[in-house]
Amino acid sequence: MGCTRSTTGSQRSEGFALVESVIGMALVSLTLSYVFAANSHLLGLLKQGKEGTFATQMIQERVDALRGALWDQVTDPSKITQLLTPATVAGASLPGATETIKIEPLANTTNVSGQCVRLPAGTVSSAGSVLTSRQSVKVTVSVQWNSRQRTRVRAATTVFTKGGI
């Protein structure tokens, strides 16, 4: 009687190792896809934060320009176009942004206002009432742009008074 060796046990462990390797590769692939998706999402959030910072800087530049302007330049929409025509420094970092300056009396019981809009192409338009005779006005500077399939808006409102008081 000779000694016979069974090969079925060896084949089973080799088959099990193959299945184990396939499952391991699937888990590694799943983990890597999750890491790449999270990385992509975080990069999008960083881009969104940078765009918000540029929009805030654009608003600050416009408010500073308005603070240095004369009263009739601030309260006349046709004269605000002169302040809004040159692009801001931050505007180069946020292409496609629309800037709007809205002027209205501080106590606006008659719903009177003036508005000046600078489109991404650089064209500036104005409409509305001249408020030079008013003693104080509320000025809202806003920036609107598209990012990540959504329209985003940043705005700031400040009060200007005739004579600075």
User: Is the per-residue pLDDT at 27 higher than 60?
Assistant: yes
Q: What is the pLDDT of residue 148?
A: 82
pLDDT digits 0-9 by tens, 61-96: 999 999 999 999 999 999 999 988 898 999 889 989
Exposure b/e, 123-150, CB count within 10 A at least 16 = b: ebebebbebeebeebbbbbbbbbebeee
* Residues contacting 141, CB < 8 A, separation 6+: 59, 62, 63, 66, 99, 100, 101, 155, 156, 157, 158
**Alpha-carbon gap, residue 155 to 112, rounded angstroms:** 20
Residue 150 domain-assigned (yes or no): yes
What is the count of structural domains for the chain?
1
pLDDT digits 0-9 by tens, 92-136: 899 899 999 999 999 888 889 999 999 999 899 999 999 999 999
Residue 3 domain-assigned (yes or no): no
pLDDT digits 0-9 by tens, 32-71: 999 999 999 999 999 999 999 999 999 999 999 999 999 9
Domain that holds residue 14: 10-164
Bridge partners (DSSP) of residue 138 are 104, 159
Residue 80 domain-assigned (yes or no): yes
User: Is the per-residue pLDDT at 18 higher than 80?
Assistant: yes
- Confidence label for 163 from pLDDT (cuts 50, 70 and 90): confident
Residue 159 domain-assigned (yes or no): yes
Nearest to 58 by CA among 111, 147, 125, 120: 120
Q: What is the pLDDT of residue 12?
A: 60
Please give the mean pLDDT across all residues of the chain.
89
